[in-house]
A and B are shown apart, each in its own frame.
Chain A
């Protein structure tokens, strides 16, 4: 089965800095790569996703890059703000199957 690892497990940055979280996976059949943000007491919120035929996708301050050969994809947040503080999960999967979540990265943005 799929083995998913996220690094780092915790990340502290100053407001305005960039943050990068990396996700490695083992199943070469995975073809969908989403990132979720979870705030305390809430469900995961999809913030960006990428499919295997694309190498990079950007949405304002958030971007995701994919390296299928090396089996990893990364979340990039620029100009971080205190409201970006949350737990971030990657969840690679194949079409029509359940998401396999990493253990999460706790991002703290201090002002």
Chain B
């Protein structure tokens, strides 16, 4: 029973390049969340998606960042024209479908460590 899978685990990019981070949720999970973690800090919410829909992107920078969760395939977090400040660990979490107004536990992958040269 595979958990949340993220790849790559480590990604190095030069300033101005594009970074693509992938997340495959746990089997049966249709909700995906992306978080960013700076060194020695807690995780900060970026975006919440369900299949083919962005539910909440209030934590995502307006420029250069985008996310999708297509009907088939993994969720993708895309960062265009990366800058040094984008260096961080990016975590994806997934949760199952649940009743309206119920809380479903979020299960995390082991993250992608993005380094910008």
Interface residues of A, Cβ cutoff 8 Å to B: 31-32, 34, 36, 41-46, 49, 51, 89, 91, 93-104
Chain A residues within 8 Å of B42, by CB: 89, 101-104
User: B43 contacts A44, CB within 8 Å?
Assistant: yes
Q: Give the dominant DSSP class at A's interface.
A: loop
Interchain CB contact under 8 A, A98 and B107: no
Compute how far the CA of A101 lies from the CA of B91 in the bound complex, rounded to whole angstroms: 13
B8 to chain A, nearest CB (A): 14
CA distance in complex: A45, B109 (Å) = 9
Whole-angstrom CA separation of A21 from B71 in the bound complex: 41
Binding site for A on B (CB under 8 A): 4, 6, 33, 35, 40-45, 48, 56, 59, 91, 93, 100-103, 105-111
Q: Which 3 A-B pairs have the closest CB atoms?
A: A101-B42, A32-B103, A43-B108
What is the CA–CA distance of A25 and B93 in the complex, to the nearest angstrom? 22
Least Cβ–Cβ distance between B47 and chain A, in angstroms: 9
Starting from the known contacts A95-B103, A96-B100, 20 additional A-B residue pairs (CB-CB under 8 Å) come to: A31-B103, A34-B105, A43-B91, A43-B108, A43-B110, A44-B108, A46-B105, A49-B105, A51-B103, A93-B103, A97-B48, A98-B48, A98-B56, A99-B33, A101-B35, A101-B43, A101-B44, A103-B42, A104-B41, A104-B42
